[in-house]
Structure 1
Amino acid sequence: MTHQRAEIIHPVPYHSQWASPELVPAIVTGTLSAAEDPRWPEYGAASATEYAWWARQLCGVACLRMALEHWRGSAPTAMALAADCVEAGAYVRRGDRLDGLIYAPFASYVRTRWGLEAQSRPDLPIAAIPELIGSGRLLMLSVDPGVRELGPDPRRRGGHLVLAVGTTEEAVVLHNPSGFPGGSQEFARVPWHELGRFYAGRGVVLGPPS
């Protein structure tokens, strides 16, 4: 395919959208409640219940934390960033439902608050990914959560955000906030020919401070 090229992988730190990356398989399969995650205080939540409600929805915040650590050396807690995103209109809470991540206000917030390059891309084709990664950017891509296991029948394209941190001739390299340890969590390689089954063709392009 014309978008394949030499390997470029950026050394980006990894964050799960839960406090304990090793517990993700148990949490997402329902064998463990997120409220039982012993590291929940690290999230910045006021209670285990608050943590459990937010953590399942903050894949985008996890991606931002990775980018901030990569370019700025540190990142606030997930709950601090979530509160910022609510104030910026990137998340809208409606009772027990959270709408978002809404790309345009999120990108504006990232530019204004953190000084990073951030561009909402409602149309971000697979063919553009290698060039953007090659120019030093990181890409928040909307994919089906099933990308972590490359299952045969994704429910839809999109709905979950992952961070593209590299490309090779054969694959895009992802940090997946809901990935499983030892395989699909960090520097996970998703073959180009598989990506289109999961990817919605949209996302947010992040770049270093100007």
Structure 2
Amino acid sequence: MKMPGLTVPYFTQWETPAMTLPVLVDGPPALQHDPLWRNSGAKTIEEYVRGAGNLCGMACLKMILAARGELHPTLSLARACTTYGSYVVNELDASIKGLIYAPFVTFITERFGLEAEVMTNVETVAIPEFLSRRQFFMASVHHSIRWPEQEPASKGGHLVLVTAASSEAIRFHNPSGHDEASQASVTLSLVSFERFFANRGVAIGF
């Protein structure tokens, strides 16, 4: 089926796309072995390991900006986004809360001139209509969407970048896909996508 859409560069939330499975097996410490970590804009490997697990939203933003010819390191985007309150860092245990949508929208509209709006109570069948008004939809899904044949434990908690949709199918980039088939331009039926989709996200356009 035809799903028109922009050609959007793909990036994972870690600098080396093959790091997803090691992170799934060994947790964030596996990122200490990411040979490309400096490309993230992190000042230290510790900053990279601490932050990369929360960068699905920044990876989506990086892809959007790259689609219009701009390249920004993910950790640099995250630092700037944090100043707007989109991420909240617990100083006691260094845990990170976010992405928080409302301040994120303020961040990307003020810093990059993007058009954006928080969307809640979104029916999956309505996503094609959003994409007729905005080029992108950052959708909250369960991270196990990388294995669409599985039944998710819940919905939401991870962000993917929807780039095209029709009345039957949806196409997206997954910042934490574990192989080529689950990373760039993944296509699922709307019915399959709905099993993972938390009915919320951020619609974004140039």
TM-score normalized by structure 2?
0.92
Output the CA distance in 2 between the equivalents of 1:124 and 1:111. Answer: 22
1:157 to 146, 155, 158: 155
| Count of residue pairs the alignment pairs up | 203
Residue matched to 1:69: 66
Residue matched to 1:17: 13
**Which range is displaced more, 167-176 or 7-16?**
167-176
Contact 1:65 1:76 in 2 (8 A): yes
Contact 2:134 2:203 in 1 (8 A): no
Residue matched to 2:25: 29
Output the CA distance in 2 between the equivalents of 1:201 and 1:188. Answer: 19
Give 2:141's aligned amino acid: V
Q: Which residues in structure 2 correspond to 1:19-58 (within 5 Å)?
A: 19-30=15-26, 33-58=30-55
Q: Deviations over 1:66-95 (max 9, x none)?
A: 011112x11321111111111001111113
Q: Deviations over 1:126-180 (max 9, x none)?
A: 1221122234520000000000111433121000000001124532101000012
Residue matched to 1:130: 128
Give 1:109's aligned amino acid: F
- Pair 1:85 & 2:69 matched: no
Q: Unaligned 5+ residue runs, structure 2?
A: none
Q: Secondary structure at the match of 2:163?
A: strand
Q: Unaligned 5+ residue runs, structure 1?
A: none
Contact 1:89 1:105 in 2 (8 A): yes
Of all paired residues, the percent bearing the same amino acid is: 35
Contact 1:8 1:133 in 2 (8 A): no
Residue matched to 2:101: 103
Output the CA distance in 2 between the equivalents of 1:56 and 1:165. Answer: 22
TM-score normalized by structure 1?
0.90
Output the CA distance in 2 between the equivalents of 1:149 and 1:168. Answer: 21
Output the CA distance in 1 between the equivalents of 2:106 and 2:120. Answer: 15
Q: Secondary structure at the match of 2:171?
A: strand
Give 2:6's aligned amino acid: H
Q: Secondary structure at the match of 2:83?
A: helix
Output the CA distance in 2 between the equivalents of 1:185 and 1:44. Answer: 22
Q: Secondary structure at the match of 1:118?
A: strand
**Which range is displaced more, 135-144 or 164-173?**
164-173
Q: What is the CA-CA distance between 1:57 and the residue it aligns to?
A: 0.8
**Which range is displaced more, 118-127 or 15-24?**
118-127
Q: Secondary structure at the match of 1:11?
A: coil
